[in-house]
Amino acid sequence: MDEMQLTPQEKNIVNYHRDTIASGKVGSDKEGRPVTVYATGIKIMEGPYKGKFVSVPGYVKGATGHSEDYLFEYWKDEINSGKWPMYNSGEELNKRSQELHTIMDDEEKPALESRNKSMSPRLEKRQLLKDAEMQ
**Interval 4-19: pLDDT, tens:** 799 999 999 999 999 9
Domain tally, the chain = 1
Instruction: Identify whether 1 is part of a domain.
Output: no
* Confidence at residue 83, expressed as pLDDT on a 0 to 100 scale: 98
Instruction: Identify whether 22 is part of a domain.
Output: yes
CA nearest neighbour of 134 among 64, 53, 29: 29
Domain membership of residue 121 as a residue range: 8-134
pLDDT band at 134 (very low <50, low <70, confident <90, very high): very low
Residue 78 clears pLDDT 70, i.e. is over it:
yes
DSSP secondary structure of 58-106: --BTTB----HHHHHHHHHHHHHTT-S-EESSHHHHHHHHHHHHHHHHH
pLDDT band at 3 (very low <50, low <70, confident <90, very high): low
* Residues 36-44, mean pLDDT to the nearest whole number: 96
What dihedral angle (degrees, nearest 10) is formed by the CA atoms of 56, 57, 60, 63? 120
Average pLDDT, the chain: 86
Instruction: Identify whether 3 is part of a domain.
Output: no
